[in-house]
Amino acid sequence: MSPKGRPTDDPKTCRFEIRISEADIEKLDFCCEKTSKKRAEVIRMGIQKVFDELSK
């Protein structure tokens, strides 16, 4: 039996749940609308941006 989902070099196997305010959801959804990306993708972009800044 083959694994579920599309083949990838970077499987997303971990789940993470957070509680955020309505204002933060509005900001996240605004970013999603402007970038045409899903919430998880925008959050990953934010993590990468902070990581890049701290790694300098």
What predicted TM-score, i.e. pTM, was given to this entire model?
0.81
Let me know if residue 40 belongs to a domain. yes
Let me know if residue 50 belongs to a domain. yes
Supply the range of the domain harboring residue 37: 22-55
Let me know if residue 11 belongs to a domain. no
Let me know if residue 3 belongs to a domain. no
Average pLDDT over residues 13-29: 96
Average pLDDT over residues 33-40: 98
Average pLDDT over residues 29-52: 98
Of 30, 29, 22, 31, nearest in space to 49 by CA? 31
Are residues 27 and 37 in contact, defined by beta-carbon separation less than 8 angstroms?
no
When divided into structural domains, the chain yields a total of 1
- In the predicted structure, residue 2 carries a pLDDT above the cut 80: no
